[in-house]
Amino acid sequence: MATDTTTCTTCELHAEAVFRVEGMDCNEEVVILERRLKPLAGLEAVSADLIGQRLHVKYDAAKLTTSAMVDAVGETGMRMWLEHEEPMAYGSALEWRLKLMIACGLLLVSAALCGTLGIPRAALPLYLAATTAGIIYPVRRAVTAARSWTLDINVLMVVAVAGALALGDWAEATTVVFLFAIAQWLEVRTMERARQAIRALIDLAPRDALVRRNGRDERVPVEAISPGEEIVVRPGEKVPLDGLVVAGHSDVNEAPLTGESRPVDKQPGAEVYAGTINGRGAMEIRVTRLGRDSRLAHITHLVETAQARRAPVQSFVDRFARVYTPIVLALAALVAIVPPFAGAAPVSVWTYRALVLLVIACPCALVISTPVSIVAALSSAARNGVLIKGGAYLERLADIRIVAFDKTGTLTKGELNVTDVAPIGAAAPLDVMRLAAAVESRSAHPVAIAIARHAHALVPGLPSVQHFASVPGMGAEGVVDGRHVAIGNERFFELRGIALPRPWADADRLRGEGKSLVFVAADGMALGAIAVADRPRETARETIEMLRSQRMSVIAMLTGDDEVTAAAIARELHVDEYHAGLLPERKQAMVESLRAAHGAVLMVGDGVNDAPALAAADVGVAMGAAGSDAALETADVALMSDELLKLPYAIRLARATMRNVRTNVAISLVLKAAFLALAVAGIATLWMAVLADTGATVIVVANALRLLRAR
């Protein structure tokens, strides 16, 4: 959609537009588009998404219009329209290719029959007609490419066919045209499957919704609904927009966003997301976000923009392709000129071999081999609830050998509960809880929430706190009933000069059970300790074992908890090493230390509290990101649900993708090298070269599409 973004005093009106482009199927076609558009006055920047067939343009709306850009692209033989608009209704290029291909094939068969029956005069016009039908589309594209000074496969093919006709090879020229038409049609069809993976995300949300207005329910397009309006979602329907449940109760399948198949119970006050599927109950939902601002739209946008974050292997392949084509073209010229001058063979023989080399010179299969694998993997991951921000992170993920986990909320459930109160001397357990909860009621820390919740169940009303102050990573303090109350960890008590009993049997026992201790003091005297526990997730141990089976050299746990509590959880989960008592900046330093000692590090956390450590890691992974904008933005990889088993899946997918890329590159290079040798030796024919080039493209795309089935 074209959107004005800035108006300034120099009378420039900066705008952006996203277009869909039909016919942009190869890297050479991207070059043609860029060369046609860049001379237009007012164009500021243009970037192409080959897989998504999108063109993102920044321009000065005072000098350039979207219709002028559409017309310019039309001159290249491709069609372009604004993303939010519907294209014109005439038949697509794919349909025309199919019709021309069928016509070419029928005429070719007829010509061959005439030749077999001994009627060569009838065969010749049929060969010419077949060649004309099959070459129409390549000629149009070749003319456009030549105007842009681009040597794409269409130019090379037209030159090769013209050369074959000039040499009198009528049957072979027609066969080459027909095979090229088939291969190009198959290539476009196969590429379309990769594009459908992205479109499947976009089409998850319904286009209309049942809105309650003036006491009546009416179905209206989602674009006509405003935040604050109430919509009704019936059993079995998809949720059309993000919102809060205001009435009703149901189970909702959030798999389209999180990949988690288990339904989530939704009651009044719960948040629901567009694209999720309602279960057996009806719900009334107050809309909180428009369609373009929904969580689904956010995720879809991140998947689409992820393609711009190119993997290093993709950049290498592009650089190689830019060198490869000129070298092969130069070789073709040498083959056509040098041997005849040396008297090695007739001119026609070496000219034919040079024509074969021209066809082999196109690097389409090589250029497309990497991005199609990356996009297939990104789409598959998104469908399974794992958002990977780009090919660069996918490649890094495949190289990971060290995994570091945050403990609370990552390896453990993050649901802290008070289990014990250990008073000191004559202090009453209830008094310890009451004073602690009064201070902690002002804090949003998970431990504070657990203590406040537990105290509210025991004491009807808590006293107020004055002069509240929090010390991040250590504790909090305030004045309660005229007494200065401090609550926190041992470091906090050391900082305040408050002594704790040594030895303290109750505290040692609770720590040994894997519980965290929060100490409470009043007026400088320790009153006791409150034990809170957070149990490991059910799949934490299984996840660690799966990562170990994936040849991870080190699996570490990083936590701010004390040594004894951390040791108990580490023993239960069988991690290789753990580091306790870490403040956020120390977690970051520990990630850097692990990298220096072992290599590339993956850090798993909540995406917010662990932001420094996530940023320091080679790959930062945020858990449970479906409901958090911050987690979606800060992490390189986001697990949309709290399911830890998605992590080994993501690593397995990344490694499979890199294997797929290497296989595709190898297929492309080996076929090219083999046919270069065969062409120079005079063994390869034109039709064999066509199969080698466009056939290789179909093979690598089909191979990449296997990643869409990854589970």
DSSP state of 487: E
CB atoms within 10 A of CB 588: 21
d(CA 258, CA 640): 5
CA angle 116, 119, 123 (to 5 degrees): 85
φ, ψ at 83 (rounded to 5°): -60, -35
User: Which residues are registered as beta bridge partners of 43?
Assistant: 59
The string of DSSP codes covering 461-473 is: SPPPEEEEEEETT
| Rounded distance between C-alpha atoms, residue 635 and residue 622, angstroms | 6
Residue 276: strand pairing partners? none
One-character DSSP codes across 199-251: HHHHTTS-SEEEEEETTEEEEEEGGG--TT-EEEE-TTPBP-S-EEEEEE-EE
Q: What is the CA radius of gyration of the chain?
A: 33
* Residues 489, 638: Cα–Cα separation, whole Å: 31
Q: Tell me if residue 203 is catalytic.
A: no
Q: How many CB atoms lie within 10 A of CB 166?
A: 12
Backbone angles phi, psi at 234, to 5 degrees: -85, 165
CA separation for the pair 339, 254 (Å, rounded): 68
The answer to whether 97 touches 184, Cβ cutoff 8 Å, is: yes
In the block, tokens 């970037």 appear at 47
From 169, 406, 561, 610, the catalytic residue: 406
Tell me how crowded residue 554 is: count the other CB atoms within 10 A of its CB: 17
Q: Which amino acid is at 455?
A: A
Taking the C-alpha atoms of residue 494 and residue 489, their distance in angstroms, rounded to an integer, is 9
How is residue 503 annotated by DSSP?
S
Distance of CA 71 to the CA centre of its chain: 33
Q: Which residues are catalytic?
A: 406
